[in-house]
Chain A
Amino acid sequence: MEVVGITVLWTFLYGYLIVASIDFGAGFFSYYSYRTRKEHVIQNIIKRYLSPVWEVTNVFLIFFIVGIVGFFPDTAYYYGTALLVPGSVAIILLAIRGSYYAFNTYGIKSREIYAFLYGATGLLIPASLSTVLTISEGGFIEIQNGKILFQYNKLFFSLYSWSVVLLAIVSVLYISAMFLTFYAAKANDLPALEIVRRWALIWSAPTIICSLIVFYSINLHNPEHYQHITELSWMFACSFLFFLAAVYFVWKKKNYGLSFIFVMVQFAFAFYGYGASHLPNLLYPYLSMYEHFTNQSMAVALIIAFLTGLLLLIPSLFLLMKLFLFNIRYVRGQMHPKGE
């Protein structure tokens, strides 16, 4: 049952990783296109994709947080105390981003300052959220007299934490550019495709380089975890193969849809591989998923609620995708996006 719980949560976090990366990267690219005066070329595809789905993106994150407190209540106690500052910073950035996105998109006149806030937060949020993964490796929390003390200095001067931040930012840009490439190709928007395809290729190599740096620094920071990772090395090898295939297709200008699926598979292998190697620790060495699971009756209730919820969500998500993501007329802009 613990495995079911953590798998559910990890899957939602993976979902968030993909949809939020597209969103965060799109915000950055959108601002970048303002600066380089190319906004008219790519603004359209970004807006047309993001408008109906940005709210859904947010839910994945909330789902994960509520879920982890539900399945593993002690995580609220440890992480809650430790994460006050990075967590609050992440909330503030998310708030700026969400509201200024709406102001910029639905308000009458777009303002460059709104676009800037939206773009800048797109890179800072992944950085601040990724500190959670850093903390989970242990070494940043001390307990004295029953009080939890978080060591900000250690976090700030840790090679490991900075390598994770770097990886988060680079992969956001890579995932997003790969998605926009697929979407622009689908919209048959060749000028936009030319731009986003270049971005995708530019950000592909740094993604792999950053991953290697993270492996190296995990080994320095938490050798025990690194040991688990090497036991699962086949997953990371698969991830790399899918990466090569995805980049190859984009390079050859074909199969953009398939190549984005490969990107998702690439990150699925890496993310689940990382997650599996982390188990059974939720927060090294204080929280383990077996000792800190919620009580039996709540776990059953949560899993039932989850399954019923899925029955409702999957058809709805399917409808959403059918109406917007896979509706060729909508994607090509033959339907008015604002419904006006």
Chain B
Amino acid sequence: MTYDPVLYSRMLTELTFAFHIIFATVGVGIPIMIAFAEWSGIKRNDPYYLLLARRWARGFVITVAVGVVTGTAIGLQLSLLWPSFMRVAGQAIALPLFMETFAFFFEAIFLGIYLYTWDRFRKPITHFLLSIPVMLGSSASAFFITTVNAFMNTPQGFKLNNGSITDIKPLIAMFNPATPTKVAHVLSSAYMTSAFVLAAIAGAALLKKRDSLYHRKALKLTMIAALIFSITTALIGDLSGKFLAKYQPEKLAAAEWHFETARQVPLVLGGILTEDHQIKYGLKIPFALSILAHDNPNSEVQGLNETPVAERPPLIVHYYFDSMVTIGIFLTVLSMASVWMVYKLKSVQYPSWLLRLIVLSGPLAILGIELGWIYAEVGRQPWILRGYMKTVHGATTSTHVDLMLLLFCILYVAIGLTLVKVLRKMFKNSDVQEELKSRGIEGGPTQ
């Protein structure tokens, strides 16, 4: 490959981002789940749930560390790799970036306090209350940083004349049209993914040891949360489709390989696109795209032909979009089935096919997050600021990006592998049953 700073900058940003969002997602969602478990434990006076919260927190802090360092990397890389873009962004959207660090600061302080004060207060509820600022902080930082991304999709609140920016309105830039759906979708999918990841752990443990009461409780709690959040995510996903139809029609059209503007448009799943823009082997759902776009089977949906060729997103995003939606639907159905079984099979063992699917659900949910982000980001190509600045004009001109790409690759592989090793060891060495016994829980009060 010949040296092209734009290409390498994109690859390096994608790499860091793909690695970071795994930890960012669980970083936003797991505090909610920990608080949920601790609250259940206090309310029902059930030590199992309290132990659940503790053990989750113990593993969580390790993923937080990786989240912090990769987040730092993103924060710095934005300026290092996209200096021209940050010049504009710094003028127009420094406010949410700045507030994000405040939220992060707030979360960092209270997370430190929360993790080290388990037995320090006379009333257990005091410790639970400390989890509220952690949840607020992590969700608020997701909120602020997502408004920055929303701004890149639907920039507003400034004027750009010959490279100089004027008439800046920070709040208008922050609360742009993409903000509501993006933020809501990011938050609910993060909660959903974390619930499935924790459910997968409980499922794996139940496959090994069928009668563990501790893991049954864990599965019940996580599956209820997963059900609530996956339904929310699906509903918000539908709203996001309507948002795209109105504000970024080329992104939706590229995702659906929809070229001619028309009414009563079907939605196509899978398939292959021929050179003359015909779709082969796809599964067509009649009227679905019209419904997704405007809530009306008869409505008109703008096609990709309305967008100049040089401004069209790559058509491969169709597969990312389809996979994300399929995973979302599958997970919603799975959580419905699981919750139903949890209530039906109160004391009987869960079937192993269900447990296997649940184990699969954690990685699938993360894959869904990755695909969704790739769709959202690649889908706004060739723009870095849609309608204002193309990606090629935002990148650095530095001559060492390829070397940095290589270094970061090695770094993430090393951190990722060690993380898996450490987490596995941590939970292998500290067995649940032994911990239950040493705390005098097993055989104690249960429901």
Residues B97 and A66 in contact, CB atoms below 8 Å apart: yes
With A92-B408, A339-B117 known as contacts, the answer to whether A147 contacts B397 (CB < 8 A) is yes
Q: CB-CB < 8 A to B105: which residues of A?
A: 56, 59, 63, 309, 313
Q: Is the interface of A mostly helix, strand, loop or mixed?
A: helix
Residues B401 and A337 in contact, CB atoms below 8 Å apart: no
With A52-B115, A80-B86, A305-B98 known as contacts, the answer to whether A102 contacts B66 (CB < 8 A) is yes
Among B64, B69, B101, which residue has its beta carbon within 8 angstroms of that of A94? B69
**How far, in whole Å, are A53 and B161 apart by their CA atoms in the complex?**
45
Q: CB-CB < 8 A to B407: which residues of A?
A: 88, 92
Residues A99 and B69 in contact, CB atoms below 8 Å apart: yes
The reply on A232 being an interface residue by CB < 8 A is no
Residues B404 and A73 in contact, CB atoms below 8 Å apart: no
Among A67, A96, A109, A316, which residue has its beta carbon within 8 angstroms of that of B98? A67
Among B90, B169, B400, which residue has its beta carbon within 8 angstroms of that of A70? B90
The reply on B41 being an interface residue by CB < 8 A is no
The reply on A241 being an interface residue by CB < 8 A is no
CB distance from B115 to the nearest CB of A (A): 6
With A53-B112, A80-B86, A108-B429 known as contacts, the answer to whether A99 contacts B79 (CB < 8 A) is no
**How far, in whole Å, are A297 and B75 apart by their CA atoms in the complex?**
23
The reply on B116 being an interface residue by CB < 8 A is yes
Residues A56 and B112 in contact, CB atoms below 8 Å apart: yes
The reply on B80 being an interface residue by CB < 8 A is yes
Residues B422 and A107 in contact, CB atoms below 8 Å apart: yes
The segment out of A167-175, A213-221, A272-280, A317-325 that lies at the interface is A317-325
Q: CB-CB < 8 A to B62: which residues of A?
A: 102-103, 106-107
Q: CB-CB < 8 A to B79: which residues of A?
A: 65, 69, 76, 79-80, 87
Residues B397 and A85 in contact, CB atoms below 8 Å apart: no
Q: Is the interface of B mostly helix, strand, loop or mixed?
A: helix
Q: CB-CB < 8 A to A319: which residues of B?
A: 109, 113
The reply on A62 being an interface residue by CB < 8 A is yes
Residues A95 and B70 in contact, CB atoms below 8 Å apart: yes
The reply on A336 being an interface residue by CB < 8 A is yes
0/1 interface trace, chain A 301-322, chain B, CB 8 Å (1 if under): 1100110010011001101100
Q: CB-CB < 8 A to A262: which residues of B?
A: none
**How far, in whole Å, are A69 and B80 apart by their CA atoms in the complex?**
12
Residues A84 and B404 in contact, CB atoms below 8 Å apart: yes
Across the two chains, which residue of chain A brings its CB closest to B166? A295
Among A77, A98, A297, A338, which residue has its beta carbon within 8 angstroms of that of B68? A98
**How far, in whole Å, are A336 and B407 apart by their CA atoms in the complex?**
39
The reply on A131 being an interface residue by CB < 8 A is no
Q: CB-CB < 8 A to A102: which residues of B?
A: 61-62, 64-66
Residues B396 and A313 in contact, CB atoms below 8 Å apart: no
Q: CB-CB < 8 A to B404: which residues of A?
A: 84-85, 88
**How far, in whole Å, are A62 and B68 apart by their CA atoms in the complex?**
10
Residues B116 and A66 in contact, CB atoms below 8 Å apart: no
**How far, in whole Å, are A79 and B419 apart by their CA atoms in the complex?**
33
**CB interface residues, B 40-96, toward A, < 8 Å:** 54, 58, 61-62, 64-66, 68-73, 75-77, 79-84, 86-92, 94-95
- Residues of B at the A interface (CB closer than 8 Å) are 54, 58, 61-62, 64-66, 68-73, 75-77, 79-84, 86-92, 94-95, 97-102, 104-106, 108-113, 115-120, 133, 165-166, 168-171, 396-398, 400-401, 403-404, 407-408, 411, 414-415, 418-419, 422, 425-426, 429-430
27 A-B pairs whose Cβ atoms sit less than 8 Å apart in the complex: A52-B115, A56-B105, A56-B112, A65-B76, A67-B98, A67-B101, A69-B86, A70-B94, A71-B94, A73-B90, A73-B91, A76-B86, A84-B398, A87-B79, A88-B408, A95-B70, A102-B65, A108-B422, A148-B397, A294-B91, A298-B170, A309-B102, A309-B105, A316-B109, A316-B110, A338-B116, A339-B118
